[in-house]
Amino acid sequence: MEDSSLNNQCLCALLFMFIGDNMNVYYNKLMTLCEKASRKNCVPVSALIVKDNKIISSAYNLRKKTNNILDHAEIISIQKANKKLKTWNLSECEMYVTMKPCEMCMNIINESRIKKIHYLIDNVDYYERKEKDKKNIVFIKEKDYDNMCSNIIKKFFKKIREKD
């Protein structure tokens, strides 16, 4: 009985060391990418996609360098993972990111089916600014073509479901 208890303690200690070592690898990689982004005058935010304890993809913000609003670290990392794994569905993956993702990135993360996001710091400025910016957008629902558009979308998904 005592041997069993000792084995469990050893197993737990080894598991903790393994997970702890991986976390250190992930966070060191994130910091390296942040420094790289900063040297290139890009916002120092970085992201990793991890599957089965292996880094599948990594990226840092390039928006300022490429003048592409979509070039956030999270989105670039997801695109790389999609390409490497040959699927859009990243439900078996986790994301590690230096800053809590913005709303755009959160929507894309959600669409990619990633279920866990590990982040280091909150993006307080973004969330305060977002509430102010929302008031400046006017949404106008156009009605002239809504039935035509709706029918096209319905036909498309019906066709896909029939194949499955």
Write out the DSSP string of 57-93.
EEEE--HHHHT-TT--HHHHHHHHHHHHHT-S--TTE
Residues 2, 35, 74, 111: which is the catalytic one?
A: 74
- Structure-derived torsion over alpha carbons of residues 13, 16, 18, 22, reported in degrees to the nearest 10: -160
Contact between 89 and 95 (Cβ < 8 Å): no
Active-site residue flag, 162? no
Distance, CA of 132 to CA of 129 (rounded, Å): 5
**Closest C-alpha among 86, 84, 32, 88 to residue 60:** 32
Q: Which residues are catalytic?
A: 74
